[in-house]
């Protein structure tokens, strides 16, 4: 079941996309129900899915006991699917039953890299989120990410 473009437009991540860009993006997105306790991503595993919260509460936990919760409609999880080294930096667990929009990471990368307009608009929304969350990563993860980006 595909997601409608009006729903996408209402999410901050996609708010700058025009109608054609929204249609292309909507084809990649799949609504998904999650159950309390369900693990959506494991730290250090290859990042395969990108998620946007529609409903529910989720915890993202990191090495060294750091964690935060996300619960706002449109909050994103799993951005490591489109940012090197393409491994999850945290473990994502559903704290309640909920709903997310899921995008296959490989398909999302192709969309972002294949269309400069879409890529710029989406990355301009994601980059501040990454910057805000960097303090939660372990020093080891920050250094590994830095080394990969400088290589």
Average pLDDT rounded to a whole number, residues 81-105 = 93
Domain 31-150: give its CATH superfamily: Jelly Rolls (2.60.120.10)
| 64-84 confidence digits (pLDDT tens) | 788 899 999 999 999 889 888
Average pLDDT, the chain: 88
Phi (first) and psi of residue 114, to 5 degrees: -85, -15
Token output for 80: 């490591």
Beta bridge partner(s), residue 8: none
pLDDT band of residue 106 (cuts 50, 70, 90) is: very high
| 36-54 confidence digits (pLDDT tens) | 999 999 998 999 999 999 9
Please report the pLDDT score of residue 83 as a whole number. 84
Question: What is the enclosing helix (H) or strand (E) of 128?
Answer: helix 116-133
d(C-alpha 1, C-alpha 19), whole Å: 19
d(C-alpha 5, C-alpha 22), whole Å: 6
Per the model's pLDDT, the better-predicted residue between 143 and 111 turns out to be: 111
């Amino acid at each position: 079941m595909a997601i409608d473009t009006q729903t996408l437009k209402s999410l901050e991540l996609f708010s700058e996309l025009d109608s054609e860009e929204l249609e292309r993006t909507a084809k990649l997105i799949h609504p998904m129900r999650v159950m309390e306790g369900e693990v959506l991503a494991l730290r250090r595993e290859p990042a395969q899915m990108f998620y946007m919260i529609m409903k529910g509460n989720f915890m993202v936990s990191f090495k060294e006991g750091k964690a935060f919760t996300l619960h706002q409609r449109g909050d994103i999880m799993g951005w490591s699917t489109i940012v090197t080294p393409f491994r999850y930096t945290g473990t994502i667990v559903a704290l309640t039953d909920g709903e997310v929009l899921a995008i296959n990471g490989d398909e999302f990368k192709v969309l972002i890299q294949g269309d400069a307009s879409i890529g710029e608009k989406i990355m301009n929304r994601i980059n501040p989120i990454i910057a805000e969350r960097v303090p939660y990563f372990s020093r080891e993860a920050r250094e590994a990410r830095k080394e990969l980006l400088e290589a």
